[in-house]
Amino acid sequence: MNKPGDSNPLATKRSRRLPRTVVILGLVSFFNDFASDIVVPLIPILLATVLAAGPIALGLIEGIADALASFLKLWAGRHSDVMNGRRKGLAISGYALSNLARPLLGMAGSWVSVLLLRSVDRIGKGLRSAPRDAMVADATPLTMRGHAFGFHRALDNAGAVAGSLAAAAVLAWSDLSLSEVILWSAVPGLVAVVLLGVGIKEEKNDSALSPEIRRMLPPLRWSALSIPMQHYLCVLVLFTFARASETFILLFGHQLGVDVVELLLIWAALNFAKAATATQGGRLADHFGRGVLIMIGWSALAVSFLALSQVTSSSGLWIVSIFYGLLTGMSEGAERALISDYAKADERGTAFGWYHLVSGVAAIPAGLLFGVIWHFQGAAAAFLTASLLATMTILLLRLWAWPVKDLNNNSDE
């Protein structure tokens, strides 16, 4: 894989182009999210129509699944560091597990079955996410990481567009049921696994770190993290309570009376908007700083959820979803690039593991809180509460956890 520390003029000139590893990982994410988003936008409709479950069940399912994934992400990221940066095996295992479990959601007979299968799907995500993000950082020069992560998020969101459009087309123009459409998600999922297996070559290094070097890695303790990273991750935990699962937007549309095909088109438009701005947002984060772009994305969520609390028609849902996607897409690369800024080269997997852990450790109470408020007070109250929490988080980011200097913790590069 490309070495990020190259400083000669020829390497600098070459670095203007994204490394091959980054491009391949972006395509893997495209096909994986193609498969995922044939399924994910149908889960709230499946729960509400076929399985007679509501917002509390959805919040519990998404919360538990994301929390399980988050704990695994820390282990997987750390293990990829211990294995001397050999991260591909964990990534393949994670993608394969998700794409085995996800199609089986089409045969779920109860919301408990959905919970179990969704949890296995997220366990796969837990195995792959931190090692994959570390692979992106390993392959990319320091000054291009916002661009690289933005590009990766753009293809990830483009896959979501393709998946939801494919599901909408099949439901509109064929006699297949929801369950049968979900089963077909296995096809693009297989493409993602094969592409990762044959498309990326790791350096030949079959041995794990020696015990002496392994002892030099920072311990898996919160206190071992740098103070700036601690502050940022604390703020991220609070933001998790505001960043409710986007599937709630679809459940809200279902309650407004929007039909399934139109909901899938709204989901596609939301993810297309994210994809359209993610790469440019990453470039802007490299130029203006990570904090500026993160604040733009988080502010967009606060405004969008405030607007959703007032939406009463499908046209309003379309407008808010596209606005939300355009601005939140700009910040996705910046969030991950900031973590790579704070981490040294030999502990990137661990750093991304912590990032994914803390962003998911609050997922169960956050999902349940949103679902309970929705159940007892209505969707408007739930979205309004999330908007207020997001506003508080933005203030805390600016006053307490603002990245003073983005590229300040990579002396090895």
95 domain residue, yes or no? yes
Both tokens of residue 41?
């936008």
Percent of all residues in the chain with a pLDDT value above 90, rounded to a whole number: 21
In which band, very low, low, confident or very high, does the pLDDT at 195 lie, cut at 50, 70 and 90? very high
116 domain residue, yes or no? yes
pTM: 0.72
Count of CB atoms situated within 10 Å of the CB of 177: 12
48 domain residue, yes or no? yes
CA dist 35 and 69 (Å) reads 18
pLDDT tens across 273-290, in order?
A: 988 988 888 888 888 888
Q: How high is the pLDDT of residue 236?
A: 85
Q: How many domains does the chain have?
A: 1
What does the DSSP 8-state code read for residue 382?
H
Both tokens of residue 112?
């408990």
Q: How high is the pLDDT of residue 11?
A: 43
Q: How high is the pLDDT of residue 35?
A: 92
407 domain residue, yes or no? no
Q: Side chain identity at 370, as an amino acid letter?
A: F
Is residue 404 classed exposed, middle or buried when 0-12, 13-18 and 19+ CB atoms within 10 A define those classes? exposed
Q: How high is the pLDDT of residue 260?
A: 83
370 domain residue, yes or no? yes
In which band, very low, low, confident or very high, does the pLDDT at 2 lie, cut at 50, 70 and 90? very low
Q: How high is the pLDDT of residue 16?
A: 67
pLDDT tens across 173-182, in order?
A: 888 887 888 8
**Which of the pair, 210 or 331, is modelled with greater confidence?**
331
Domain span at 271 = 16-201+223-400
208 domain residue, yes or no? no
In which band, very low, low, confident or very high, does the pLDDT at 85 lie, cut at 50, 70 and 90? low
Percent of all residues in the chain with a pLDDT value above 70, rounded to a whole number: 86
pLDDT tens across 294-342, in order?
A: 888 899 999 999 999 999 899 999 999 999 999 888 888 888 888 888 8
CA dist 252 and 44 (Å) reads 10
In which band, very low, low, confident or very high, does the pLDDT at 238 lie, cut at 50, 70 and 90? confident
42 domain residue, yes or no? yes
What does the DSSP 8-state code read for residue 207?
P
Residue 217 above 80 pLDDT?
A: no
In which band, very low, low, confident or very high, does the pLDDT at 7 lie, cut at 50, 70 and 90? very low
Q: If DSSP codes are grouped into helix, strand and coil, which group holds residue 184?
A: coil
Considering only the C-alpha atoms of the chain, give the largest distance between any 2 of them, rounded to a whole number of Å.
Answer: 62
Please give the torsion angle defined by the CA atoms of residues 128, 357, 245 and 396, in that order, rounded to the nearest 10 degrees: -140
CATH number of the domain at 138, please: 1.20.1250.20
379 domain residue, yes or no? yes
Angle at alpha carbon of residue 134, lines to 126 and 100, rounded to 5° = 30
